[in-house]
Structure 1
């Protein structure tokens, strides 16, 4: 699960939120909320998703937060908050204490380190990391889970972005590194002093970015201009097979962004269901695709969907969080539709907005350097 920079307005425009992140196990989520119908103050909010029904707990501090404040859920239910205070980046853990909010300060990083960006929640949920991008290098900071406050754990040459976890232990982190005018994905080994190895290079001249990875199956979701322009593709971690760029993931006049991969499909990458956010002139909705199916299902998202946020269960149910005036904390469970027979699986020519839904309560090795085919498989 990736941390997502989103902004949504609930039904009626009473509540606005920015940033929504879900823990790797899908138990908790966090976002920054502004109650435009009340005090108009920004404050963190924690969602609990693993109970009989989802519920939200507001975590306001002693003063309103800035709209660019970062929040990240932890596996124990606390919420990491990242504030810019003067020339420092300050971090703390928030937790509910009856009617108030408890706060455990973690320390700060000098702003001279650059603009810090929180990475997606780590697989174990006990640590949190941030990137500070400089002119020629990128610093990786451990901002929660260390023994003595924020710790510099690695410095990577080049300007890095992204952030995808490659295993279940939180040891291997993939970053998209811009170096020498090209962007390639590298793997950073956090248990070997931040040792950097190449992970993804489709061709020497292409820009190749890793968007998602599933540690169970090894499935990788990739964006690359190797076919001549930016396309979504898939590969398998450690495989000698080339990256494939399915035609069904090429929609005219729409942008597709994968945001969740079905877990639990051990050594079966082609059977994993992948959820995609579809953005077009007609709005935003959900796509579901499997490598083996060669078909993109276009499905309606619930009203008030926190666009681009969601998590799969291992049974193939996509959980989409949404918030409206009447239901400020809710999840729509959307079973993955079956794929049509191979003969009926045809490429999608363009976006087709579906009818509205009705909510109810690994090893490390670079991919092959061969130029991939442009076909579906």
Structure 2
């Protein structure tokens, strides 16, 4: 699950929202909402997704929020809120208390503390443990990693990292190994940060020395990694397996003319079976935004219409292969559409083996040193 920077509007323009995010356990989601039909005030809203029907609970504070306020749902139903107040970054946990909103202050990070003077300060996707939340404060040539919820004494500085870091994907189920995209010396490479060893950094992904290699999504169960790299000559979407000795693959079916493809959810529960994982993708083009579903083993991209009012780029898979897409319209202000993953077409009968091809001048090399090993390599090269 990933925190998203999106903004949506209902058909009549009455409701707008930004920053939709889903908790690590999939039980809750949160966003910032503005009701233009009433007070035009921004306020957090929590969605409950694990019941018979999804429902939303408004969590307004004592005063309206700013439109750049960020929210992040925790596994226990509370919502982390990040406010910029003058020269401080302030954090609190919100929760419903009958007709009012309860607020538990977590503390703030003041100017000069590797945060308020940074070029950017962003919350990372929810930690898999469900109780911790982290943020990046990106400076000119370094990045501070902060624990902003789940610590004993308020926000805690976890590590200072060389380079400008972005992204954020969790590599395990415990919330120990965090992958970041680090811009250093003119190249962007994915690195792994060990949070139990003082933020120790190890290389995670290097396809070629000169390429820019970013990690978009990671699935801890299967080890599947979704990657964007310019190693093939221009930016391409590819996949690999954590700890595998096989190279990254860049499927042709994930190349669409005049459209951008961004993965946003991977099917969980496919232990050691990366090729079987269903992957949900957001497809953006001049004609609009819709949904793609793809499996590494299938070599086929299914393209499906998104529900009206889809909170674009948000969604989650069930272990059984059902994609749940949250959407909001005037008639259904809190709703989820369920899409079973379509079966891939039967493979074509084997053709006579082609003549050996001349090796390419530059071939992507395997994933770099990975902090987690012991994954079974996939059965074939897709």
**Hey, what does 1:220 align to over in structure 2?**
225
**Hey, what does 1:351 align to over in structure 2?**
none
RMSD: 1.4
Tell me the CA shift for residue 150 of structure 1. 0.1
> Any idea what the Cα deviations from partners look like across 1:53-76, whole Å, max 9, x if unmatched?
000000000000000000000011
> Any idea what the Cα deviations from partners look like across 1:64-108, whole Å, max 9, x if unmatched?
000000000001100000000000000000000110000000000
Tell me the CA shift for residue 111 of structure 1. 3.6
User: Contact 1:107–1:149 (CA<8 Å) still a contact in 2?
Assistant: yes
**Hey, what does 2:178 align to over in structure 1?**
173
Once residues 161 and 88 of structure 1 are traced to their aligned partners in structure 2, the CA distance between those partners, rounded to angstroms, is 21
TM-score (norm 1): 0.92
User: Contact 1:27–1:75 (CA<8 Å) still a contact in 2?
Assistant: yes
Partner residue of 1:294 out of 293, 299, 320:
299
Once residues 144 and 45 of structure 1 are traced to their aligned partners in structure 2, the CA distance between those partners, rounded to angstroms, is 19
TM-score (norm 2): 0.90
**Hey, what does 2:357 align to over in structure 1?**
none
Q: Any unmatched runs of 5+ in structure 1? A: 345-363, 368-375
Aligned length: 351
**Hey, what does 1:145 align to over in structure 2?**
150
Matched, 1:59 2:59: yes
Q: Aligned ranges for residues 1-377 of structure 1 at < 5 Å?
A: 1-112=1-112, 113=115, 114=118, 115-343=120-348, 365=370, 377=382
Q: Could you say what secondary structure the match of 1:129 adopts?
A: strand
User: Contact 1:200–1:366 (CA<8 Å) still a contact in 2?
Assistant: no
Q: Could you say what secondary structure the match of 1:305 adopts?
A: coil
Tell me the CA shift for residue 366 of structure 1. 7.3
Once residues 259 and 43 of structure 1 are traced to their aligned partners in structure 2, the CA distance between those partners, rounded to angstroms, is 25
Moved over 2 A (4+): none
Tell me the CA shift for residue 136 of structure 1. 1.3
Q: Any unmatched runs of 5+ in structure 2? A: 350-368, 373-380
Tell me the CA shift for residue 124 of structure 1. 1.2
Q: Could you say what secondary structure the match of 1:61 adopts?
A: coil
Once residues 297 and 97 of structure 2 are traced to their aligned partners in structure 1, the CA distance between those partners, rounded to angstroms, is 48
Tell me the CA shift for residue 322 of structure 1. 0.2
User: Contact 2:81–2:92 (CA<8 Å) still a contact in 1?
Assistant: yes
Tell me the CA shift for residue 342 of structure 1. 1.8
Once residues 169 and 12 of structure 2 are traced to their aligned partners in structure 1, the CA distance between those partners, rounded to angstroms, is 35
> Any idea what the Cα deviations from partners look like across 1:213-268, whole Å, max 9, x if unmatched?
00000000000000000000000000010000000000000000000000000000
Once residues 208 and 49 of structure 1 are traced to their aligned partners in structure 2, the CA distance between those partners, rounded to angstroms, is 34
Once residues 259 and 253 of structure 1 are traced to their aligned partners in structure 2, the CA distance between those partners, rounded to angstroms, is 20
> Any idea what the Cα deviations from partners look like across 1:130-149, whole Å, max 9, x if unmatched?
00001111000000000000
* Higher alpha-carbon deviation: 219-228 or 116-125: 116-125
Q: Could you say what secondary structure the match of 1:191 adopts?
A: helix
User: Contact 1:161–1:177 (CA<8 Å) still a contact in 2?
Assistant: yes
> Any idea what the Cα deviations from partners look like across 1:136-185, whole Å, max 9, x if unmatched?
11000000000000000011100000000000000000000000000000
User: Contact 1:293–1:339 (CA<8 Å) still a contact in 2?
Assistant: yes
> Any idea what the Cα deviations from partners look like across 1:268-307, whole Å, max 9, x if unmatched?
0000000000000110000000000000000011100000
Tell me the CA shift for residue 341 of structure 1. 1.3
